Structure 1
Amino acid sequence: MDRLRKKKDFQKVFSTGRKIISRYTIIYALPNNLSSIRIGLAVSKRIGNAVVRNRTKRLLREAMRQALCLGLKEEELSRIHGYDIVLIPRQLCVTAKSSEIVPDLTEKLKTV
């Protein structure tokens, strides 16, 4: 699992990627020409102050790891390899626990 880092990569995913709305996150997914999944997080200042935003990013990173390692079956995982995925947390994500986010994220990643 690699990271999206460049602004142009984020903009490409936002402009041409598929948008999936879940209870805790908004997920943008776009196929890439690589063999790995690249993950990006976009946390706006509307979520809260820096402490809250950083906690939310840590929560989402760990939820993504658990969803990819434990939640998805082998054929579902192989289907999303080669995707750029950007996660945008919604306001509910701030107060949610990891045990609530992981099943929601796993379910939505199956639809990518």
Structure 2
Amino acid sequence: MSSTTLPRLKRRREFLRVASRGRRTSRDGLVLQALAQPGAALRLGFTVTKKVGNAVVRNRAKRRLREAARALLGQDPPQGWDLVLIGRDATPERPFTALLGDLRSALGTLGVVARP
């Protein structure tokens, strides 16, 4: 596990701004919302609704999303983006390599990173 910490979105209004003004794409393991913020650092937000499960399941899903983001974006984060990763029903149990693939694909679709 890497010790790289990426700046976070924490306030509800930040999440709502990304949802209303940004673009979104979904995969089996997650939904990604992205809003370009030219000149700003990359910031990440994570959320999982109660539909996914109880608090233990939701926290597991968020931990897995944070680790996937850290693995893909931690070393050389793309600048100028606010990203929100939303957990889905499959997130807590999805194989981690598949979750990484979902995130990599979603980032490429929204133009956050160059397609592999």
TM-score by length of 1: 0.84
Specify the SS of the correspondent of 1:28.
Answer: strand
CA distance in 2, matches of 1:48, 1:92: 11
Tell me how far 1:69 sits from its aligned partner.
Answer: 4.3
Specify the SS of the correspondent of 1:11.
Answer: helix
Specify the code of the residue in structure 2 equivalent to 1:95. Answer: E
Tell me how far 1:33 sits from its aligned partner.
Answer: 4.1
Please list every run of at least 4 consecutive aligned residues from structure 1 whose deviation after the TM superposition is greater than 2 angstroms: none
Larger helix percent: 1
After superposition, the C-alpha distances for 1:80-99 in whole angstroms (9 at most, x for unaligned) are x2100001111111211222
Gaps of 5+ in 1: none
- The alignment status of 1:15 with 2:15, answered yes or no, reads no
Partner of 1:95: 93
Tell me how far 1:34 sits from its aligned partner.
Answer: 4.2
Partner of 1:85: 83
Identity %: 37
Partner of 2:37: 32
- The alignment status of 1:50 with 2:55, answered yes or no, reads yes
Gaps of 5+ in 2: 1-5, 111-116
Specify the code of the residue in structure 2 equivalent to 1:97. Answer: P
CA distance in 2, matches of 1:42, 1:33: 24
CA distance in 1, matches of 2:24, 2:12: 18
TM-score by length of 2: 0.82
Specify the SS of the correspondent of 1:95.
Answer: coil
CA RMSD of aligned residues (A): 1.7
